[in-house]
Structures are given as C-alpha cells and as structure tokens.
Homo-oligomer: A and B are copies of this chain.
Amino acid sequence: MKVTISDVAKLAGVSTATVSHTINNTRYVSSETKEKVYQAIAQLGYTPDASARSFRTGKKKTVGFIVPDIANKFFGTMIESVENFLSAHGYHLIIANTKEDMDREENHIRLLTAGLVDGLLIASTMDDFQRFDDLIPPGFPVVLVDRTFETKKYPSICVSNFQPIYRSVCRLAGKGDQRIGIIGGLPRLSSTKERISAYQQAIADCGLPEDEQLIRYGDSMENSARVCLDELLERSCDAIIVCQGLMASETIIYLHKKGIQMAKDIDLVSFVDYESTFYQLYNNQMDTIVQPVEELGLAAGEQILRRIEKPDAPAFEKVLTSAYRPYSTQAHSWAHSDR
C-alpha cells in the first residue's frame, strides 16, 4: 500500500540514506546513483510523507493565523496576502477564527502551539497580556498583527491609529463641526484605545467641547453600528467618525435609509475596507481612511518566517501608515481611480 523510502532504496539498490540525500540535496550523490533513485521514485510513485518528515525534523512548514473574523473583508484580504507570501516560501497556513471571543482564542493558541505549527500570527482579542503570555510556550515564535499589547514582549505589525483619527477631527473642526461623534471598535483592543485617545486629544486641542456621550463602541461584527449611530444622532452630532470598515458600510446604509445626506446633513469620516468597491460610490461625500491591508499581511508573513528562523531576535514593532483620502466634491472618474 503506502510506498516508503525503503521501498525506493530497495528498488534502486541503495540505502535509505542515499535516497534521502538525493531528494533533499543534502550531500553529494553521484549522478548515476541519483538517476537510479529518481527512476525508482517514478516507478513506485513515491512521495515523501510530510508527517514523518516533520516529526523527525521538528519543522512543520506551517504557520497558524488566529483571526477575530474570517468573513470580515479586512481580515479576509489579509489572510490572502499572508497565504500568498507563505506559500511562495513553502509554508502552509492554518486559519483559526475567534469571533472576538477570548476563550476561543485561548483554545486555539493551546492547540496550535502543541506541535502543529512552527509559528503563530495573532490578531488577538485579549486585553489581559498576562493571560495571553501564559499561553505561549517560552521561545515559541509569535508575531502580533493589527493589535498589540502595552508590554512589548512580542513583535508586532500594526497600522497607525492615532494620526488618521487626529487628522479627521481637525478637518471636521476646520469645517465648523462642533459635535463630533465617534464609533469605535471593541474598547479592550489596542487599536480602539489608540483611536479613541487620538480623538480625545484632538477634540481638546481643537478647543471643542468634550462630551463622553459622543464616544460609542460597537463590536466590529455585523450589525453593531446601528445602535451607536442612533445614539449619536439623538445627541445631534454634526459629524461622525467610524473606526472600522464593516461598521462604516452599515452607517452609510442607515443614514441612507433615514434620509440623512452625507456631506450635507452630516459629515462622515471612516476607516474603510481596502479596495471595497462599495466606497467608490461615496468617495465624493466622505473622507476615507484606507489601511494598507496587503502590506500588513506581507509584513506579517515576513516577520513570522524571520522569527521562526531566529526565535530570540529582539522584539520590535512595525507600524504601517494608512492613507487618508479627503474627499473632493468633484466625483472621481473611475478611468483614473487613484489606486
């Protein structure tokens, strides 16, 4: 049934060592011997067993990626980008979904670190660094993606959160908006915290009245923006900043259905999902903040492989910057869309 390396060795009339070295190019083998080996391999239809190999070598050639929401285009695109990089480097990608649930995340980390993958990419939903840290076996290669912790023990690839939000507030204030609301993601996440704090600082710096009620939090899953929006509208905002792509789409739709016109009745600025065609319809009515998702995925892939090679290189943070796209009232011609 299953054909093994010794079947090949036997047929080729050589030792298993020679077969192994031939297929792995790991020591000199005369070309005649090589020839015999390849012949035997072809004849038997031999394929080395990945499972035995990784057991023996300890290398799985696989990395795990723990994400909060696979179906979310932001992470979907990132997964694509990571997979693309990894598969080009001979690695496989195992996906695990947490649905922003810390227990699920814990469970996935436990399972994946138990000899299944060589390293782990994590967009963590945890707020408790200690709990997170306790789950990671010492020396296990980990790279944090999109979200980080205050304790900088692990390397991270994130996106600038402060600057675009600060700028949003300033631009809105510059237009004369006085009551600027903001819809953030899960309060416990580093990304949310950074954005909210940018908002607060900018509000203060611009001399606008501070009002805790103008800060609302969604959960970045489907259908979480509506409540926030209603609350903000009740408090008669002139402007709203939305911190996440899925919630942005929902906000636009709800405004639409309520007959509230963007750029006229209310100003909108939002983080937006990369390349989503949806926003092309609105880029003349709202400022958009586009995160470099593909670069994020690429960098994450690079870092985790580097980390797998040298697990004890010092941790460092990489912060990519988002594109801020102020709207212009003249509609873009799609003939030269700016990407």
Binding site for B on A (CB under 8 A): 47-55, 58, 60, 62, 69-73, 76-77, 79-80, 83-84, 87, 92-97, 108, 111-116, 137, 222, 246, 249-250, 253-254, 256-257, 275, 277-278, 280-281, 331, 334
Contacts and interface: CB of A to CB of B under 8 A. Distances in A.
A140 to B, nearest CB: 11
A331 B256 CA distance: 12
25 contacts: A49-B114, A50-B111, A50-B114, A50-B115, A50-B116, A51-B51, A51-B60, A51-B116, A53-B115, A70-B80, A72-B76, A73-B73, A79-B95, A80-B97, A83-B97, A84-B97, A87-B96, A92-B96, A92-B112, A92-B116, A94-B95, A246-B277, A253-B277, A254-B334, A256-B281
Given A115-B51, A116-B92, A222 B97 contact: no
Contacts of A60: 51
B70 A76 contact: yes
Contacts of A76: 70-73, 76
A249 B277 contact: yes
Contact of A115 (B52, B113, B275, B277): B52
A94 B93 contact: yes
A125 to B, nearest CB: 15
B92 A93 contact: no
